[in-house]
Amino acid sequence: MRMRTIASRQGGRPPLITLDDVVAIGRDLGMRRLSINAVASRLGVTATALYRYVEGRWDLERLVGESLLAELDLRDDPTADTAEHLLSFAVQLRDFTAGHPGLATYLQVLFPRGDAGRRLLAAEVAALSRRGYSAEAAILLSSAVATLVISLAAREESNAGATGGDHATGFEAERDAIADRLAGDPQLGAAHGCVSQVSNAEFVRLLLAASIRGLVTMTAPGRPIDEVVAELSDAGKDR
């Protein structure tokens, strides 16, 4: 990764920096390592000096996160039906977040936080509106799919940290031991052997496709949102 630093001014005076420098350093660090102190250190200034450019951690995260999101250009195939479109949206969002560690957590906490997030939401609402949905239903559908995708991406990031690096050897030993125990189970062994052949990418796509089909079935174009919510609430009650 290219490491960007800011040169000091002559005479030992603090370096000249701009807000663009702050964002650039933040992007170099990545969302996972982003902090006021980390950015200040790379810029060669104190954390106090950095507060002249950002109001705090939330402001810094928003500036860097929105800078990254600005690069996401969602493709919409006009020939795709609603389920196909939402699956494409889900896959594009998942691939993008996977390429920017820490971004899933940023999206999970609050969305949209800035102009880039609003642009993405507006684009998705427009795409679903072209398929007959009201703005309210479009926001509900796209938010539901995005929540699922972002949750899966955040889980994968967490698992990568817990199972990689110094933890890899222990994880592999534990994983193999569990697989051996399941293989020897008279009830679960054969079934687990078949399921284990499904790759993680295939499993995620299956989960996304099935969830999206359910959402589209529940939320048909023209159906009032409160009717959908009421049906789901009734389904969850004890019979």
Q: What is the CA radius of gyration of the chain?
A: 23
Same domain, yes or no: 127 and 162 = yes
CATH number of the domain where residue 62 is located = 1.10.10
The candidate with the shortest Cα–Cα distance to 127, out of 107, 145, 109, 152, is: 145
- Residues 63-102: tens digit of each pLDDT: 999 999 999 999 999 999 999 999 999 999 999 999 999 9
Q: Hey, what are 142's tokens?
A: 């796209």
Q: Is residue 223 part of a domain?
A: yes
- Residues 134-163: tens digit of each pLDDT: 999 999 999 999 999 999 998 888 877 777
Same domain, yes or no: 100 and 174 = yes
Choose the weakest-confidence range: 98-107, 125-134, 168-177, 217-226. Answer: 168-177
Please tell me the total number of residues recorded for the chain in this structure: 239
pLDDT of residue 14: 57
Average pLDDT over residues 193-219: 88
CATH number of the domain where residue 120 is located = 1.10.357
| Domain final position from 21, 39, 69 | 69
- How far is it, in rounded angstroms, from Cα 153 to Cα 147? 10
SS3 state of residue 186: coil
* pLDDT bracket for residue 238 (50, 70, 90): low
Q: Is residue 173 part of a domain?
A: yes
Same domain, yes or no: 50 and 113 = no
- Can you give the pTM of this predicted structure? 0.81
Same domain, yes or no: 114 and 215 = yes
**Is residue 234 scored above 80 in pLDDT?**
no
pLDDT of residue 120: 95
- How far is it, in rounded angstroms, from Cα 19 to Cα 162? 34
Number of domains in the chain: 2
Residue numbers of the domain that contains 40: 10-69
CB atoms within 10 A of CB 124: 23
Same domain, yes or no: 104 and 193 = yes
Q: Is residue 21 part of a domain?
A: yes
SS3 state of residue 45: coil
Q: Is residue 3 part of a domain?
A: no
**Is residue 5 scored above 50 in pLDDT?**
no
Give the up-direction half-sphere exposure of residue 178: CA atoms within 13 A in the CB hemisphere.
8
Q: Of residues 11 and 183, which shows the higher confidence score?
A: 183
Same domain, yes or no: 52 and 135 = no
Q: Alpha helix locations (H) across the chain?
A: 19-29, 36-43, 47-50, 57-69, 82-98, 103-109, 115-129, 135-163, 168-183, 189-195, 200-218, 225-235
Same domain, yes or no: 139 and 204 = yes
pLDDT of residue 13: 58
Please return the burial class of 92, using the count of CB atoms within 10 Å of its CB with bins 0-12, 13-18 and 19+.
middle
**Is residue 198 scored above 60 in pLDDT?**
yes
Q: Using the structure block, give the residue that is written with the tokens 């390429």.
A: 99
- How far is it, in rounded angstroms, from Cα 50 to Cα 22? 8
Q: Is residue 1 part of a domain?
A: no
- Residues 6-61: tens digit of each pLDDT: 445 455 555 678 999 999 999 999 999 999 999 999 999 999 999 999 999 999 99
Same domain, yes or no: 114 and 34 = no
pLDDT of residue 12: 55
